[in-house]
Amino acid sequence: MTNRVVLNETSYFGKGAIQKIADEVKTRKFKKALVVTDKALIEHQVATKVMDVLDNASLSYEVFDEIEPNPSMEVVFKGIEAFKQSGGDYLLAVGGGSSIDTAKAIGIVTNNPDHADLRSLEGEPGTENPSVPILAVTTTSGTAAEVTINYVITDKENNRKFACVDSHDIPVVAFVDSDLMMGMPTSLAAATGMDAMTHAIEGYITKGAWELTDMLHIKAIEIIGRSLRASVKNDQKAREEMALGQYVAGMGFSNAGLGLVHGMAHPLSAWYDIPHGVACAALLPNVMDYNKDAAGEKYREIARVLGVENVDAMLPEEAAELAVAAVRQLSKDVGIPEHLVELGVKEEDLPKIAEDAFKDVNTSGNPKETDVQEIIELYRSCM
């Protein structure tokens, strides 16, 4: 079997990393950017810090600030037109997964117009051409969109989200600057942090996992497990650690795949507009429990890096239970709702939601085979 790894050409980490944007733009001889961001990041003077770098270097750009949580096809269409009208030759995405995912879709469709319908990008679309070059500046500690080959778009007409997996969409340069993450509100730090933990755990046990990605995922679980609680309290060192931990998780899962938590989370966001990280966190412990007989000794290692003592003396079943309990406690400690009913999920919707979850591209990566009825019961266990 041949395993492939796709990563950014270049990445910058640490306080002040965005100052390197000007150097990269000049080195690559880019002429004009379309800055893809949202109005809130401009209002709170986060995206403006990136624009200041461009202004100080006399670099040309226009701004597309219509990004929304769970970005829709309609927003992508607007972004494609905005990029065309701008006369730009690269995209500068500033934000969390929503901004970066939208930039990926804009860049892919611009250079692959045969996928202008967007829906044909679902799964592994086999695009012929690389995206318009993307520079990605992450402002959250969770999605790792700046280092992945994945993006997710919401199809409002059909009430669903679809995931796209395409090595042509990866940003050429990523900037992971913890200064931009200090303004995250508690709820966003918690949600994106648990999204990162879900990436790390699912990537660790997915069917596509192998030694190189295992190394990345177990380290990411360790970093996130020790840092997330303090990060939610706006501790700067913890925010810096979370910025690294989520990126390391992204390096792994982008190349190994995910599983049933993401498969089940996407319909929840599409149906109820639940933030993706919150949906993942509410599902993660119960899906971990469901998968424990397929994870082998990996749950023992998860328990170990999450601080469970004496794991080597335990039977596999006990170690697995304590790994699940540690993740459940972490989610509770950072304020994530424990039950789907608290998020507005309705019992009568579960059969249709489960069908969407079963069809999601991530579900096929789950280490344990499943079906629609078992997914319904899993949703019910989380209600």
CA geometry: angle 106, 269, 92, nearest 5 deg: 25
CATH code for residues 10-181: 3.40.50.1970
- Token pair belonging to 11: 């990445």
Q: Give, for all 383 residues of the chain, the pLDDT tens digit.
A: 789 999 999 999 998 999 999 999 999 999 999 999 999 999 989 999 999 999 999 999 999 999 988 889 999 999 999 999 999 999 999 998 899 999 999 999 999 999 999 999 999 999 999 999 999 999 988 889 999 999 999 999 998 889 999 999 999 999 999 888 887 788 889 999 999 999 999 999 999 999 999 999 999 999 999 999 999 998 989 999 999 999 999 999 999 999 999 999 999 999 998 989 999 999 999 999 999 999 989 999 999 999 999 999 999 999 999 999 999 999 999 999 989 999 999 999 999 999 999 999 999 999 999 999 999 999 999 98
Rounded to whole angstroms, how far apart are CA atoms 91 and 73? 18
Q: Which CATH superfamily is domain 186-382 in?
A: Dehydroquinate synthase-like - alpha domain (1.20.1090.10)
Domain ranges in the chain are 10-181, 186-382
Tell me the backbone φ, ψ of residue 202, rounded to 5 degrees: -65, -40
Amino acid at 92: L
Cα separation of 363 and 43, whole Å? Answer: 37
268-273 CB contacts, 8 Å cutoff, 24+ apart? 268/340, 268/343, 268/345, 268/353, 269/70, 269/154, 269/161, 270/70, 270/154, 270/155, 270/159, 270/160, 270/161, 270/356, 271/159, 271/345, 271/349, 271/353, 272/343, 272/344, 272/345, 273/69, 273/70
SS3 149: coil
